[in-house]
Copies of this chain bind each other. A is one copy, B any other.
Amino acid sequence: MPSMIIVLMGPAGSGKTTLASALGEWIEENQEYSVGYVNLDPGARILPYKPDFDVREWFTIDKIMEKEGLGPNGAMIRASELLAERRRDLRKIIRGMKKEVVIIDTPGQSEIFIFRKAGPKITDALKFIATTIGVYLVDPTITSLISELATSLFMGLIIQLRLDIPVVPAITKVDLVKLDLGETFYIGLEKVRELAEQELKGTLQEVIPRIIDVMIDYMPPIRIVEVSAKTGQGLEELYQLIYETYCSCGDLT
């Protein structure tokens, strides 16, 4: 039975699957824990890891489209309902895994997983098995980093409250962009606030710092790690943040 479950979440294309693989390998090699992999994305094509459980054994987006005559949108929503329905089976499967750490790769579209019923029901089921930590991925390549970072961090807070698990934010794909967030692989909320005031314009310049103030008051003193699944940068720091969160959860239970 696993003692830690890591759930990777983030918008479409933020690199959940690639990071699942890289983080799992890093943990196996450097922490000498056995790692189990669970794929919950029924629309996944190629996985860079060998899943110990794959939701595609139950259903795939393609098959739902074909069988129920749905389009891709409808099929994704249907898949999220099916996933919520089978959460007890999933709990049994993960509980039976002879692995110390289990990494869960979630569906491609985060709005479907997080804001429909599947997300909260699945995390509720997982919490019965082991301490469950979320990692929320922020993709710095798709938009202005600072506003994206701030809104993503706010999303991280919403997810934390909605799924009732601690969430560690991580900026992915840092091999593709030059970030200038500080000297280390970490960035604190105060630094994000400072950058927002310097770099944003108009209303965003006023709104974002105020939202960050709310986060500073209600999130545990988090650091945001910068990580690259490709070069391995930041994997150690990400694991450390997850592990610290794991330990502080342990204290609470």
* A interface with B by C-beta (< 8 Å): 11-13, 41, 43-45, 61-62, 70-77, 108-112, 115-117, 142-143, 147-148, 151, 154, 157-158, 161-162, 202-204, 206-207, 210-211, 214, 217-218
Report the minimal beta-carbon distance from A111 to chain B, rounded to whole angstroms: 5
Complex contacts, A214 vs chain B, CB 8 Å: 207, 210-211, 214
Q: Please, which residues of chain B bring their CB within 8 A of the CB of A62?
A: 72
A22 to chain B, nearest CB (A): 19
B61 pairs with A71, CB closer than 8 A: yes
Q: How many copies does the complex hold?
A: 2
Contacts of A218 in B (CB 8 A): 203, 206-207
Asked if B12 contacts A77 (CB within 8 A), the reply is: yes
Contact of A161 among B11, B74, B204 (CB under 8 A): B204
Top 9 A-B residue pairs of the complex, sorted by shortest distance between their CB atoms:
A73-B108, A45-B71, A43-B72, A11-B111, A61-B72, A13-B77, A210-B214, A72-B72, A43-B73
A75 surroundings in chain B (CB, below 8 A): 72
| Cα–Cα, bound, A44→B206 (Å) | 38
Q: Closest Cβ of chain B: how far from A147's Cβ, in Å?
A: 7
